[in-house]
Structure 1
Amino acid sequence: MEEVALKDLDTRLQKQIENARKAVDKNPTYAVDILTNIVSRNHACLDARKILRQAQQRATKGKTKGLGGLLSKVTSLPFSMSSDAKIKKNPQKAMDSAEQILNSNPDNVTGHKILGAAAEELELYSTAVFAYEAVRQLEPSNSENIKALMGVYIKTGNSEEAIRIGEAAYRANPADDEVQSLIKKASVEQTMEKGKWEEDKSFREKLKDEDESQKLEQAGRAKTGDAGLRALIEEAKRGVAETPENMNFYREIASNYRKLGEYDNALEWVAKARELEAGRADVNLERLVGTLKREKMQKAIAEVEARLEGNPEDAAAIAELERLRTEERTFRLEQCEDLVQRYPNEYGYRYELGELYFEDGETDKAIKELQMAQRSPKVRVGALILLGKAYLAKGFHDLAAEQLTTAKSEIPGMTDQKKDVLYQLGSAYEQQGDMDKAMVEFKALYGADISYRDVAQKIDDFYSK
């Protein structure tokens, strides 16, 4: 299935969508009803879906806090990320279910995940990007979502964006070999695009590095199923028996257990690797322990969420879910604080800690870490953006505008990140009362993406005055 642009729809539908867009601000519930019906009959129209998301945000504003918000987060329709077979069997129905979830709470991560998975099944990769980007905004440290997002960015030909978010994920988890493989794949795609290599050349010829090619091919085979992964594990165990000091075998075993979701086994083999002479000084193995523990917690959370989908009124499961989420959050924060204390000049850790503080409302602590994180070229732009948002949260609009203006100048092209900066910068000027400067940013965003958040409504309101 191919994506369909708004302009390619029937003119009557275009008119309905335009009327719904105009109603987003004053009557968002009406807009949600109209647009939900339209996207259910036009699954491939991403533009309509983006406007629907704006309407959902407006319609539910302030209604998803407290217990209601919790129930909204754990309540979903027949589809879940644990029911891949259902999504594959009827992806259109899965997309409709996802939108019903998001009608109740547009910040529901499960809803966005279902939408992304179903869109991928239909080869609607731009829609999948839209869904997974929403998850990234809500759960920026969700590594599985980052990898899914990288995959669809590569499929849409946006290898540059895949590399950018992949490098950020790699800094957070240097031991994640799947992220490394995706970065390499995106780099190859980017090189092929720039070099305009002939289609009849083989993948192996284009890589040049025979050894690297074999590694990537082996990784690809390992993803074909549990049986393939277990075969690789047994092969690596035989390697350990023959050459017990070879760290690569231990890494491969741990990595494949991780792909199987068997985190205790993965941790066991990482511990064995750290007992070796070479492993004692391997900082990446130390970091991998923390990553595996965190992913184990995330798996437990997903299992409880799946239980709640079958029985959303289960009070014990709701309480367990809150406990697991609190434990996972506390673990991440403590781990990051420890890493910053031990590696004060690793600014990627400071950036991640700043993100966590900002999400927890510890704005002053976040500002301190983000100011230092700017020193690293790798996380500088992200730190500038988040610092601008932190200043906005404190009401320091002029300071926010300074950071966001700098960030804007350092982002080439019109990426999703650039759109976010334009919107935040316009908001900073708007809150200062400087509508002339605000409209410069909003117009630039409007010209690039009319359906981005509520920018169309802002432009309409400005000209109507």
Structure 2
Amino acid sequence: MEEVALKDLDTRLQKQIENARKAVDKNPSYAVDILINIVSRNVACLEARKILRQAQQRATKGKTKGLGGFLSKVTSIPFSMGSESKIKKDPKKAIDSAEQMLNSNPDNVVGHKILGAAAEALELYSTAVFAYESVRKLEPNNTENIKSLMTVHIKTGNSEEAIRIGEAAYRANPSDDEVQTLIKKASVEQTMEKGKWEEDKSFRDKLKDEGESQKLEQAGRAKTGDAALHSLIEEAKKGVAETPDNMNFYREIATNYRKLGDYDSALEWVAKARELEAGRADVTLERLVGTLKGEKMQKAIAAVEARLEADVENEAAKAELEKLKAEERAFRREQCEDLVQRYPNEYSYRYELGELYFEDGETDLAIKELQMAQRSPKVRVGALILLGKAYLVKGFHDLAAEQLTLAKSEIPGMTDQKKDVLYELGSAYEQQGDMDRAMIEFKALYGADISYRDVAQKIDDFYSSK
């Protein structure tokens, strides 16, 4: 997918965006309402997304005070389990989810990270730069984000900026070989772009030898291919042989095997890393094992789904798919329960566990986790919505309405998430027999999206009964 310039949008949309731009300072909430839907439908328009972010910042000014520090403390915690596979499976949906997070709090680091990763998956590299730059402003010392930012700068041809950012990170942490490797790649790209490879003696003098120059040039030309990844793996294995205690080589090998989809080999090298003294104390490696196992399961599920698409009557494949999905779900639940037990105050884990419990029909267990999960700003709205749905399952319509009303008040604009809340809230009132209040919610939804679920039928039935 290619980035779309504002001037290439429909002229009516351009006019709406211009009106929103003018309203950013005086009426930012109005600007957000206009832009959130435009950006959702025109995911590749970075200019509109930038204006939206300005409006969100002004609309929430003062309301999220103090969250920046809190979020900085939790950024060592990875995306919630399954997020990476969800991004790969449906990056557009992941971007919508990220924007919902950022609508509630534009300084939500996790939201920016998901936006960046999903934009990369869609090859919207300028949008990815925008997302990772936002993280860098909030967390200037987040090395993993800096690596992601350097990578997309290289992909967009902005190698000079990648080098500048990388050199600052390298000065702060000279032992990080990954940053050094990215600096070299950016330097190769920069030299190739200028067409001065043979003339630029100053850079070639910095390289160990002519052989390394050639390898980096090849990597610059085919860095995304399988052959290049295998080459990087072999180079890292040589590094392990020379300095077996250097964790960065193990990480690079595991990372590149993961990119190749060879999860068994990736897990093997993570296990080797965990045998090192530094690896035994590295919690991120422990979590990476769970992520890799989960992605391996997702890959197996995708393979069976592909077989079924080609042969929809394949009963053996249907049975295998059902078995694999059950195993993957049980694994996620086990992993999530373990994370909640070990990190009881990381409420995003409680939210995901509550979601799994709810989907499994264990409503009481879901309610317990979701009640605690809403303490976290980054998952609060989602927890409120799911808690409302859980109360509806229990038949506690008044409690459901309370949670859904709270969620409604915390979602600016008319997003897909807001539509879901309006429908569920209307249903809660409907099940109580309070049709007047139910219709207020259904009418608001009808006015925004007549095709949403069966809301049009509900409105028709209501007026037909009068």
- Shorter-chain TM range is 0.5 to 0.7
Aligned residues: 326
Q: Which runs of 5+ in 2 are unaligned?
A: 13-40, 46-80, 135-155, 170-178, 187-218
Contact 1:150 1:163 (C-alpha < 8 Å) held by counterparts: no
2:425 aligned residue: 425
* Correspondence for 1:389: 389
Q: Is the 8 A contact 2:351 2:373 kept in 1?
A: yes
Distance 1:391 1:277 in 2: 48
Once the two structures are superposed, the pairs formed by residues 184-203 of structure 1 within 5 Å of their partners are 186=127, 188-189=129-130, 203=158
| Aligned equivalent of 1:353 | 353
| Larger deviation, residues 350-359 vs 338-347 | 338-347
Does residue 280 in structure 1 map to residue 280 in structure 2?
yes
- Residue of structure 2 aligned with 1:160, choices 82, 85, 99: 99
5 Å matches for 1:41-190? 141=82, 143-147=84-88, 149-150=90-91, 160-161=99-100, 186=127, 188-189=129-130
Deviation (angstroms), 1:124: 9.1
Per-residue deviation, 1:301? 2.0
List alignment gaps of at least 5 residues for structure 1.
8-119, 127-139, 194-200
d(CA) in 2 for partners of 1:235 and 1:365?
49
Q: Out of 202, 209, 219, which is 2:165 matched to?
A: 209
Contact 2:87–2:117 at 8 Å: present in 1 too?
Answer: no
Match of 2:60 in 1: none
Contact 1:159 1:189 in 2 (8 A): no
Once the two structures are superposed, residues 425-463 of structure 1 have per-residue CA deviations (whole angstroms, 9 ceiling, x without a partner) of 111112112122222222222232232222233233333
Kindly indicate whether the alpha-carbon contact (under 8 Å) linking 1:351 and 1:383 is maintained by their aligned counterparts in 2.
yes
Map 1:276-355 → 2, pairs under 5 A: 276-355=276-355
Q: How does 1:399-438 map to 2 (within 5 A)?
A: 399-438=399-438
- Offset of 1:255 from its aligned partner? 1.7
Inter-partner Cα distance in structure 2 for 1:230 and 1:162:
37
CA distance in 1, matches of 2:222, 2:423: 42
Larger Rg: 2
Q: Secondary structure at the match of 1:209?
A: helix
- How many Å separate the matches in 2 of 1:355 and 1:407? 16
Query: What is the deviation of 1:359?
Result: 0.4
Structure 1 residues 390 and 220, CA gap change in structure 2 (3 angstroms): farther
2: distance between equivalents of 1:317 and 1:206?
Answer: 49
**Residues 299 and 221 of structure 1: is their aligned pair in 2 closer, same or farther, counting only changes over 3 Å?**
farther
> Over aligned residue pairs, what C-alpha RMSD do you find?
4.5
Aligned partners of 1:221 and 1:228 also within 8 Å: no
Q: 1:209 to 1:459 in 2, by over 3 A?
A: farther
Separation of aligned partners in 2, 1:186 and 1:390? 36
Deviations 1:316-351 (A, max 9, x none): 333322222222222121221122222222211111
Cα distance change on mapping 1:353 and 1:253 into 2, 3 Å? same
Structure 2 partner of 1:66 = none
Q: 1:293 to 1:221 in 2, by over 3 A?
A: farther
Kindly, what percent of the aligned residue pairs are identical? 69
Amino acid at match of 1:225: G
Name the aligned partner's letter for residue 99 of structure 2.
E
TM-score, with normalisation over the residues of structure 2?
A: 0.59
Q: Which moved more, 1:420-429 or 1:301-310?
A: 301-310
